[in-house]
Structure 1
Amino acid sequence: MSVSLSLSCNPLINRITDPAELVQVCAEEVGVRRLQLTNEFINPVWPVETQARLVRQFTAAAARHGLRATSLMTGAQARLSAMGHPDDGVRRWSEDWFIRFGRIAADLGAASIGSQFAILSWSDWDDPARREARIGQVLDGWCRIWEAVEPFGLKEMFWEQMSIPREFGHTIPATQALTDRIHASGIPLRILLDVDHGDVTSDNPDDTDPFAWIRAFGRDCPILHVKQSSANKGGHWPFVEPYNSTGRIRPAEIVQALTEFGPAEAEVCLELSFREREPADRSVVQILRESVDYWRPHLKV
């Protein structure tokens, strides 16, 4: 069993825009060698020549610093993808977006791309017939995306379970039901577990228990999103004080759970968040470094 640490680039969006600077800061100042890159740094909607130039800049800097992008994930805006939209044209646009995203991932040497499975509107979710139609359409879309990106050399795709029904995966039973449908489709769309997610209104305490999620889905989970978590799911807290004293995420316990219930190789990805306020804005790199150091004794960094 091999467990490594990576960093989601979400907290660095707009704080760093140059790919070479991003690599230098993450490798030398934060101290990580694996990144989950988000689309804000190299966006599929930008001109193709711009994408290619930014890919070259990133890969050249990554080679100098011994760093790599292991996966690509949608950021705060692109996660609101139109995969679950009722209009065929909008859904096809979203599929094309993900195919271009897969091309960027392959050019960077990443193994996978991912996002949420889909997000449905209130009206589509509340009508059982429309909900079922949308789920079928979304799954067909992911199948078409995989058919297009597999030749690029990607290993797999992933979807992140969420915390409300219409964003999918809010409880363990609901996640299992969707996972079964995905497996039946035959595509390698694996689950990215965020152990801070889950429906806080559920009567089942397992649905908000990080370790219950790992026990249930660890075998199919190549990437685990973590942040310091409280019982009320209060925020994407970093792994620093005062959050570590009151939080329930302990690196040794997470690594042990992955060792027991995870795949042969797993990645623990720090997904943290910082407000656009001082002093938080200028403390991001320092706090990321402290969070990485908190995990460093327990896995490969």
Structure 2
Amino acid sequence: MGFSLSINTNPLVNRFAEPEDVIAVLTDEIGIGHIQLVHEFINPSWAASTVKRLTDRMAKACAEKKARITSIMTGPYGRLNHFTHPDKDVRDYYVQWFKGMADIAADLGAPAIGTQFGIFTYRDYDDPKRRAALMEIALACWRDVGEHAHKRGLTWMFWEPMSVGRELGHTLKDTQNLQDWINAAELPIPLKPMVDIDHGDVSSPDPADVNPFQWASRFATQSPIIHIKQSTMNKGGHWPFTAQYNENGRITPDNLLSAVRSGGGVDNELCLELAFREREPTDRNVVSALRESVAYWAPYADTGLG
């Protein structure tokens, strides 16, 4: 089947809102048909009638443009404690919220949803007993969401390894240990890692923990989706694959795909997860930068458009 290329819609949040506009700019202007949708475009907490109306419009727009929502995840305004929040009522709210996300995904034909496994407060992370108890609670929350997602026809879920300990998966070892623990739990549908080549703890004594090629290689067979962006030694941002950033960037299609293949990957979804500041001229160059990034990768991975 080969590698595929997709775009996470983080950069489009607030810049576009109408489902038809979102899909049209992706397919017609940026040149991509595989889409990782973020929740800001259809938020599970909105009124049910609003969610249904916008989901129907999104599904129709995808059908007309022959685009596909490959997954749904939390977006830039959803990086929250969720299942490791210290308050039970808040956790219960988010269990229902993610069940709503699973419903939206099912109605859009997407097989997977995801977010961080859980984000800890300083207090809860620094207290081993509180941390261990909340880890078990978070796993139970994922199980609850997974049962509902399975009933709606989803086939897997994902969690994103991050870059600091309290957000979990900040090193290669911690990511693997957490994934082994998740696997042993045998959830209703698999919960898999979705690694990001530019994540990792910069304070780690092991240089591999901030090596994008190590992340790509070591989790090639476990991470169906891999978040990609241009990476520099200082890990300064979610840079696009434009001439400006490629000049000093470490990532090329050849060297990244070589790393994925060396780890056994053959059909991963390479998802462009980029970010752009709300400053001019950057703000008005988002679409052109995304278009250039897709064109840079298009010879190496299926974009989903003819």
Q: Which residue number in structure 2 is paired with residue 117 of structure 1? A: 117
In structure 1, give the amino acid aligned to 2:144: R
Name the structure 2 match of 1:281: 283
Please tell me whether residue 203 in structure 1 is matched to residue 205 in structure 2.
Answer: yes
Partner of 1:183: 183
When the two structures are aligned, how many residues end up with a matched partner? 301
- Equivalent position amino acid for 1:94 in 2: Y
Structure 1: stretches of 5+ with no match in the other structure:
none
Q: What percentage of aligned pairs have identical amino acids?
A: 47
Report what 1:233 is aligned to. Answer: 235
Q: CA deviation at 1:261?
A: 2.0
1:103 is matched with which residue? 103
Q: Which residue of the partner structure matches residue 3 of structure 2?
A: 3
C-alpha displacement of 1:61: 1.2
Matches within 5 A, 1:208-227: 208-227=210-229
The one-letter amino acid paired with 2:131 is R
After superposition, the Cα gap between the structure-2 partners of 1:262 and 1:7, relative to the gap in structure 1 and judged at 3 Å, is farther
TM-score (norm 2): 0.96
Deviation at 1:87, TM superposition (A): 1.5
Deviation at 1:278, TM superposition (A): 1.0
Partner residue, 1:50: 50
Contact conserved, 1:214 with 1:262, CA < 8 A, in 2? no
Rounded Cα–Cα distance in structure 1 between residues aligned with 2:40 and 2:77: 9
Return the offset for 1:217: 1.5
Q: Deviations over 1:52-77 (max 9, x none)?
A: 11111111111111101100010112
- Once residues 263 and 143 of structure 1 are traced to their aligned partners in structure 2, the CA distance between those partners, rounded to angstroms, is 27
CA contact under 8 A between 1:84 and 1:134: conserved in structure 2?
yes
Match of 2:34 in 1: 34
Distance 1:49 1:156 in 2: 27
Equivalent residue, structure 1, for 2:135? 135
Alpha-carbon deviations, 1:148-167, whole Å to 9, x = none? 11110101000000000000
Q: Answer yes or no: is the 8 Å Cα contact 2:214–2:259 preserved in 1.
A: no
Contact 1:71 1:112 in 2 (8 A): yes
Matches within 5 A, 1:141-156: 141-156=141-156
Shift of 1:264: 4.6
Q: Distance in 1 between matches of 2:98 and 2:267?
A: 25
Write the distance in 1 (CA, Å) between the matches of 2:266 and 2:300: 16
Deviation at 1:257, TM superposition (A): 2.4
Could you tell me which amino acid in structure 1 is paired with residue 283 of structure 2? D
Provide, for residues 124-152 of structure 1, a one-character-per-residue CA deviation record: whole Å limited to 9, x for no partner.
11111111111111111101110111110
The 8 Å contact of residues 81 and 120 in structure 2, kept in 1 or not, is answered as: no
Structure 2 residue matching 1:207: 3-state secondary structure = helix
Once superposed, what is the RMSD of the aligned Cα atoms?
1.1
CA distance in 1 between partners of 2:208 and 2:199 (Å): 11
Distance 2:253 2:116 in 1: 25
Q: Indicate yes or no: 2:276 matched with 1:291.
A: no
Alpha-carbon distance in structure 2 between the residues aligned to 1:81 and 1:55? 26
Aligned equivalents of 2:110 and 2:186: distance in 1? 22
- Aligned-partner SS, 2:159: strand
Alignment partner of 1:247 is 2:249: yes
When residues 294 and 111 of structure 1 are mapped into structure 2, their CA distance, relative to the original with a 3 A threshold, is: same
Judged with a 3 Å threshold, the aligned counterparts in structure 2 of structure 1 residues 106 and 263 are, in CA distance, closer, same or farther, namely: farther
